[in-house]
Every structure is written in C-alpha cells, then in structure tokens.
C-alpha cells in the first residue's frame, strides 16, 4: 500500500493539508491522472476526471451522499463507490444535530423573537425525556446521531429501510413501520440517503403525522424536502420551525423565501466537515482491505442507490 497514488479531485479544498495528511499514512495524492492509479477521492470533480484513469478500481466520495456519482454517466460501471463516514465527519454531524435539536427543544427561536421585541419571556419547556425526537435514516451518521440524542436523555426513535437495533432507541423499519415512527414526533431529523424512494419524503403527508407544532431538521439532501409543503406547514402552525442545512438549489437563490422566514434557520451545507487527518487514516485502512481481498466498508449498492 505504501506509495500508492490517489487522484485528488475535490473542489475548493486545502490541497496542501490533504497532501500532508496522506503522506503520514504512506499515500500520495496527485491531481494528475494516468495509468496505474487505482483509487480516486472526489467531490464535484471535473467532467474529464474518470477518463484520465484507465486503471480505476475504487472511487472514494468525499461526502455521505452519492446520488451525483450514481447519476453521472462518466463514472465507470466497474468502479466501486465508497461513502465517506470517517470519525471527523461523524462527530461534526452529531454536534450539528445536537445543536439544532436542543435549539428546537428549548424553542430558542421564541427567545430570539422575544429579544427582538425587548420582551421578557417566561418560557417553560419539558425535560428532554418527555421530548419525542425521531431520526430518519440509521446509517453511520443517523445511528451516531440517535445514540447521541439518547445520551442527552431525549425520547428517541429511529427509522430505516431495513431493521436496525440501537440500545435505548425505539427502531422502526420499512413502509409498514413509518406511521408508528412518525406518530406524535415533536422533532424529526432527516439523515436519509437520497434515492427515488426517499425523494420528496419531507412533505405535507409526513408533516400531518407529526405532533402539531413539531420541528424539522434536514441535514441530508435538499431533494428530500417539498419546499412548498414546508412553507405551508409553517404558515398554518402544523410545523413550528425548521433547520435546513441543505436545499434543492445550492447556493440558495437570493430571493428565495427561506432566507427571510422567521422560523427557518439556514446553514450553508456545512453540518459535517471532513477532517483530512482522520479521512486519510480511514482511506488507508480501506485500501489495505482492498489489497487483502476483503470487502470495502460502506461500499455503495448501485441497485439500492446508497
């Protein structure tokens, strides 16, 4: 493995920092293609990236979402696609989710409104174990978020396509389990992969099944959200507030109503940053597994879309 060259095709990255991190684990990053390069690390790569890699075997996606790669006809069909969910990314996502959920639990937006009006608010809120919080999607990031919310004493549920088990978290699975998962939820966190089945899942029908005045946290993909349904749900009080790290169009256009909505909190798709040091260690371990003929961790199932 030592000396293996990896094509680095990541938009707006600190290339020097990534190069230093990979040198520590005996790997070399290059921005030049050519024969003999079997691995690449990508995020919004140039269109010609894969054509420059005749020996490509594995694509490491610098992010948990892979829908762009799966929809890119330039991606070689024989190349394995691996989702990044290294420790740095997982930790920052968990921190972001905790920040948003605690904010909605304590209804910080009520306090912000009161401050703008110079109004002293005698606010009451329940203990966390009386707040029903649900996590849609129990992959690496969703499971970590659910466990962290449990450790903060929230009443936590999780939902996934296939059955999962997490100590202290009520887990539901499949279409048949979705209604029970949603029933009475006061805060819902979306960490689903974006697939044809999950596109638009955050819609009026789902919002109606939550507790009235619930809050939404979407840190997955903008394509999960029906934006018009969100605005309508906020207007009629079905939802009280929403935190959005992702939107259907990014950057969000200047005139979009989300920017100035008093109950929508926006962040610029930065909920989870990847640390070059931990990413390098993770990728080095994956390359070692590949060299030993072992299956890659978090490899994408193209048929399932994640």
- Is 302 buried (19+), middle (13-18) or exposed (0-12) by CB count in 10 A? middle
- Has 304 been annotated as catalytic? no
Specify the pLDDT at position 2: 56
- Residue 28, SS3 per DSSP: strand
pLDDT score of 64 more than 70: no
Q: What is the pLDDT of residue 41?
A: 95
Percentage above 90 pLDDT, the chain? 86
- Helices first, then strands: H and E counts in the chain: 9, 12
**Of 22, 68, 64, the residue nearest 44 (C-alpha):** 68
Q: Give residue 71's pLDDT.
A: 87
8-state DSSP, 299: B
Task: Please report which confidence band the pLDDT of residue 202 belongs to, taking 50, 70 and 90 as the band edges.
Answer: very high
Catalytic residue among 221, 224, 238, 290: 221
- Average model confidence (pLDDT) for the chain? 94
**CA–CA distance, 285 with 191 (Å, rounded to integer):** 25
Identify the structural domains of the chain with CATH numbers, from first to last. Answer: 5-85+274-291 (3.40.50.720), 88-266 (3.40.50.720)
290 with 296: CB under 8 angstroms?
yes
- pLDDT, tens digit, 9 for 90 and up, residues 4-32: 999 999 987 899 999 999 999 999 999 98
221 in active site: yes
pLDDT tens across 75-111, in order? 999 999 998 877 888 999 999 999 999 999 999 999 9
pLDDT at 3 over 80: no
Considering 106, 269, 285, 302, which one is annotated as catalytic?
269
């Amino acid at each position: 493995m030592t000396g293996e060259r990896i094509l680095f095709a990541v938009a707006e990255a600190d290339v020097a920092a990534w190069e230093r991190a990979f040198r520590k684990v005996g790997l070399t990053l290059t921005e030049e293609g050519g024969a003999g390069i079997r691995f690449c690390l990508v995020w919004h790569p140039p269109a010609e990236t894969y054509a420059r890699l005749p020996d490509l075997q594995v694509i490491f996606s610098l992010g948990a979402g892979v829908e762009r790669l799966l929809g890119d006809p330039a991606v070689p069909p024989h190349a394995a696609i691996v989702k990044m969910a290294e420790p740095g990314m997982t930790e920052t996502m968990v921190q972001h989710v905790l920040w948003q959920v605690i904010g909605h639990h304590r209804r910080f937006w009520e306090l912000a409104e009161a401050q703008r009006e110079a109004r002293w608010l005698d606010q009451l809120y329940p203990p966390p174990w009386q707040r029903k919080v649900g996590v849609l999607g129990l992959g690496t990031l969703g499971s970590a978020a659910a466990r962290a919310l449990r450790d903060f004493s929230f009443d936590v549920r999780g939902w996934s396509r296939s059955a999962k088990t997490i100590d202290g978290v009520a887990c539901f699975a499949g279409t048949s389990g979705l209604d029970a998962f949603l029933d009475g939820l006061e805060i819902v966190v979306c960490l689903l992969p974006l697939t044809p089945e999950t596109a638009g899942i955050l819609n009026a029908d789902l919002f109606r099944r939550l507790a009235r005045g619930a809050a939404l946290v979407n840190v997955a993909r903008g394509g999960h959200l029906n934006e018009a349904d969100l605005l309508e749900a906020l207007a009629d009080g079905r939802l009280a507030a929403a935190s959005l790290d992702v939107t259907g169009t990014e950057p969000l256009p200047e005139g979009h109503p989300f920017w100035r909505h008093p109950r929508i909190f926006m962040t610029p798709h930065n909920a989870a940053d990847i640390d070059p040091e931990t990413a390098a260690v993770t990728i080095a371990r994956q390359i070692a597994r590949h060299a030993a003929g072992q299956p890659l961790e978090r490899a994408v199932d193209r048929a399932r879309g994640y």
